Amino acid sequence: MAWDFSTEPEFEAKLDWIRTFVRDEVEPLDTLFPSCAFLPLDDERRTFVDPLKQQVREQGLWAPHLGPELGGQGFGAVKLTLINEILGRSSWAPIIFGTQAPDTGNAEILARFGTQEQKDRYLTGLLSGEIFSCFSMTEPQGGSDPRVFTTRAVRDGSGEDADWLVTGRKYFSSNASVASFFIVVAITDPDVPVHKGASTFLVPAGTPGMTIEATHQLFGAPSYDPGHSLIRYDNMRVPADAILGEPGQGFAVAQSRLAGGRIHHAMRTIGLAQHAVDMMARRSKSRFTQGSSLADKQLVQAYIADSYTELMPFRLAVLHAAWLIDTQGEPAARAEIGACKILASKVLENIARRAIQVHGAIGVSEQLPLANMLLGGLVLGMADGPSEAHKVNLARLLLKNYVAGDPDWPDEFLDNRVAAVKAKYGDLIDRVPALPL
């Protein structure tokens, strides 16, 4: 099968439009309204933001991750990669294009598993970018291993119509302070392994029994940033139809959002890392020390070459994963998505660190976005599961393709290969290896 990431010229024209629009119209919002992308719009921000969203809609580019059934264009993952790598340069761009995490994944869950009433209530607002949502799974005692989760949901009464009562604590629930609804993961059957005994619930903000105990910001973020909250659920009553999917399907439901989210992050990371490379290259040509520009120093040249040789294969890996998603579906691309998730963190971290180094002192100041990019690289190695856990999962997936051999002698053991070759060719050869005399 041919690998083909090409797109038609009409789409290239769209990418050109996005590039110019993001650079000229959207990136200024990052300076004007820093860390405000996830705040509900006040009149002042709306004056700037709504006309830009309107322009995106008029170009047919709103919510480019969505299929036509949800009002998107059905671009598919390869084209989405090419769009998202441009959007990755700006923290406001995903909002302006209606494709911001975690709302994209939450909308996907709602569309797939929500009741008509839940969709009517939230999906339109979410897809139009008017409301935000929260995914509440990680617990204070640990996020990497769901087996330590203790948040429980129990029926208040018998029968399938009985309400659920949810009790427990969740941590690092992003945007909880501004969310209109929450998707909460809770154990409904503690007698089976957690992957079969957890369920997801759709919970409106302000439901009695839900308390935001604290909100933590990422390092350097302002206090008005919606941040990541510690939430207590205390006998929180939700109706029977708050459950998304079937009881016990919670992890399958959660996974259905996480895979898409991970590759979307990787797509945006390409653009962010490219931004750091551009900054590093320009600075190295502009700054002089010890008789020549930084660009003339071989160690700085190595930074630029190393960054390119990391970014280029990462971009190809993301495009390849996207192509697999388009041609064979997301489940067929599990290993590739996992690899991109692991790579994204390392590539951004490495490149941001080099770009900071080339900028010298100003590189670590609040004047440049580079320290934030470095933090972004670290965050990518934790959010949606730490890199270590993804490596374990990836290795398990890859190892399924192999069967164990002879425990004494490795497959490529020379004596065994010689015996096999002799057995294959018999009298045709009298010595191995068959070197010319």
Within 8 A by CB and 6+ apart from 53, the residues are 62, 96, 98, 129
Could you say whether residue 233 binds ligand FAD (CB under 6 A)? no
Q: Does 226 bind ligand FAD (CB under 6 A)?
A: no
Q: Residue 200, interface with ligand FAD (CB under 6 A)?
A: no
Taking CB under 6 A as the rule, does residue 143 contact ligand FAD?
yes
**Residue 235: CB minimum distance to ligand FAD, A:** 21
The binding track of 94-133 with respect to ligand FAD, each residue x by CB under 6 A or -, is --------x-------------------------------
Q: Which is nearer to ligand FAD, 111 or 382 (CB)?
A: 382
Q: Terminal CA-to-CA distance of the chain, rounded, Å? A: 43
Q: Of 81, 90, 104, 174, which one interacts with ligand FAD (CB under 6 A)?
A: 174
Q: How far is the CB of 311 from ligand FAD (least distance, A)?
A: 22
Applying CB under 6 A, the site for ligand FAD has a residue count of 22
Quick one: which segment of 76-84, 205-213, 268-276, 379-387 binds ligand FAD (CB under 6 A)? 379-387
Q: Which of 15, 375, 382, 432 binds ligand FAD (CB under 6 A)?
A: 382
Pull the structure tokens for residue 330.
């997301």
Asked if residues 60 and 98 have their Cβ atoms less than 8 Å apart, the reply is: no
The CB-based long-range contact list for 353-362 (8 Å cut-off, 24+ gap) reads 354/276, 354/280, 354/303, 354/306, 354/307, 355/276, 355/277, 355/279, 355/280, 355/283, 355/307, 357/303, 358/280, 358/283, 358/284, 358/287, 358/294, 358/300, 358/303, 359/279, 359/280, 359/283, 360/287
Task: Classify residue 139 by its DSSP letter.
Answer: B
Query: What are the beta bridge partners of residue 200?
Result: 185, 244
Helices 77-87 and 250-286, packing angle to 10 deg:
50
- Closest distance between ligand FAD and the C-beta of residue 143, in Å? 2
- Scan for tokens 């993961």, then name that residue: 185
162 binds ligand FAD (CB under 6 A): no
Residue 243, strand partner residues? 201
Shortest Å, Cβ 171 to ligand FAD: 7
**What is the closest distance, in whole angstroms, from the C-beta atom of residue 137 to ligand FAD in the complex?**
3
Structure tokens that stand for 186 in this block: 């809770």
Q: Which stretch in 39-47, 190-198, 378-386, 425-433 sits in contact with ligand FAD by CB under 6 A?
A: 378-386
Considering only the stretches 64-72, 134-142, 241-249, 341-349, report the one whose residues sit in contact with ligand FAD under the rule CB under 6 A. Answer: 134-142
Strand intervals (E) in 38-163: 132-136, 152-155
| Residues at the contact surface with ligand FAD, assessed by CB under 6 A | 102, 135-138, 142-144, 172-174, 218, 228, 379, 382-386, 388-389, 392
